Amino acid sequence: MADTTGHPTEPGVTSETDRPMRPSSWRHIGPGIVVAATGVGAGDLVATLIAGSSFGYTLLWAAIVGCLVKISLAEAAGRWHLSTGRTLFDGWASLGRWTTWFFAVYAVVWGFVYGAAAMSSSALPLQALFPDVMDLKWWAIACGLTGLVFVWFNRYAVFEKVMTVLVGVMFLVTVYLAIRVTPNLPDAFAGLLPVLPDEKDSVLNTLGLIGGVGGTITLAAYGYWVNAKGWTDTGWMKVMRLDNRVAYATTGIFVVAMLFVGAEMLHSANVAIASGDKGLIQLGDILEAEYGPATAKFFLIGFFATSYTSLIGVWHGVSLMFADFVARLRPGTEAARGEEVASGARERSWPFRAYLLWLTFPPIVLLFQDQPFRLVIVYGVLGAAFLPFLAGTLLWLLNSGRTPRAWRNGPLSNTMLALAGLLFLVLCVKQIWDQPWSEFF
């Protein structure tokens, strides 16, 4: 019996991390819920809404392909952690110092700009729900500070439980909206056929939808959350794979539900909404006019859950990666082990908390002024480059002697990672091409 990577489920070759295989069980599910909640932000929902409003159900298949691509990336990251007992950054470091420099620049620039964006995104639905309480900027600061306090004082177990509750809210809201708009099921099933819209730039729009489904750096954080859960050896491999599939099945439900809303409410009425988080506020107004204030408020609660899970997910997951990055740089450190992440030592370390502070306080400055033009361009380029970097390095690591032979990539996993790398490379080149470089210099 083969798994999704093309390997047998009970390999005959053992390594120092091999343990008796635990049966996959729903009661162990956890890190997948966290990565699904963190990866699906307000921007993903807006992108799917716009795809539905522009093309109806035509690109439903692309949203599903996007989930399959991300399954392969997250599974590969989790497999590295479990099969080697080493963290992903330790694997990157073994490929050369260039990976260290890339991650260092990425973590500093990306974290600075993302912090402001995440706080603003979480603040928008709160201001819409409570318009007379305070200004958007102060709501944003409140979201950032509560995220900081929550992650600072809680370990992974509590973090996972809170994320699970918020995912439940997201699930209820998106499924309720999808049912309320009464989707045209024959058209939806027709949307499963891989065809392109008859529009200008339809290929790039389709690739953008595939690439935008559920997560960027959070895919790399998945392996760290797997370790934080206490899964540190190959005995957890079946459990991790079930957990990962649940994650992207959940993600698929979110994006398909929002595509239904876009196709039925916006496409059929020829209504356009703005890109970015403000598009969801516009959708709230449309829902209020169509179904009443109760549905609109219910939607805004789901909007907040979507944005806030991305905020606290990044606050925790990327801080965990940064703490591992710093630990690996210390003199005499040979390998960063998954057991150290599982022990909770990383979450109590000063680098973890320093990066938490970096995500929270410096970005507050951006809330009170226009974002620095050049910095935003660098942020966009680095963000676009991360997924090709992740796909390429996972291909390298999982096909080399760094991974025990029994857990190296099979043909299916190699194919999926290669396709993911090519897809994200195309999107990266487009992102770089579209930047206003003439104004940068």
- pLDDT for the residue numbered 368: 87
Q: What is the pLDDT of residue 252?
A: 87
Query: Is the confidence at residue 6, as pLDDT, over 50?
Result: no
Read off the pLDDT band of 183 (50, 70, 90): confident
Q: How far apart are CA 5 and CA 135, in angstroms?
A: 49
CA distance 244 to 75: 6
Confidence of residue 8 (pLDDT cuts 50, 70, 90): very low
User: What are the start-end ranges of the H helices in 181-277?
Assistant: 185-190, 202-211, 217-228, 237-261
Q: Average pLDDT of 155-169? A: 95
pLDDT by residue (tens digit) across 84-107? 999 999 999 999 999 999 999 999
Least confident of 47-56, 234-243, 405-414: 47-56
Q: Cα 283 to chain center, whole Å?
A: 23
Q: What is the pLDDT of residue 315?
A: 97
Backbone region of residue 13 per phi and psi (left: phi > 0; alpha: psi in -120 to 50; beta: other values) = beta
pLDDT at residue 194 tops 70: yes
pLDDT on residue 9: 39
Provide mean pLDDT across the span 241-254: 89
The neighbour count for residue 38, using CB atoms within 10 Å, is: 30
Q: Is the pLDDT of residue 112 over 60?
A: yes
> Is residue 8 classed as helix, strand or coil in its secondary structure?
strand
pLDDT band at 10 (very low <50, low <70, confident <90, very high): very low
d(CA 418, CA 412): 10
Longest dimension (CA), the chain: 64
What per-residue confidence (pLDDT) applies to 87?
Answer: 94
Each residue's pLDDT tens digit, 339-375? 889 999 899 999 999 999 999 999 999 988 876 677 7
Half-sphere exposure for 32 (CA within 13 Å, toward CB): 23
Calpha distance 178→295 (Å, rounded): 12
- In the predicted structure, residue 432 carries a pLDDT above the cut 90: no
Query: Mean pLDDT in the chain?
Result: 87
- What is the pLDDT, as a whole number, of residue 198? 75
Residue 7: which pLDDT band, with cuts at 50, 70 and 90?
Answer: very low
pLDDT of 332 > 50? The answer is: yes
What global pTM score does this model have? 0.91
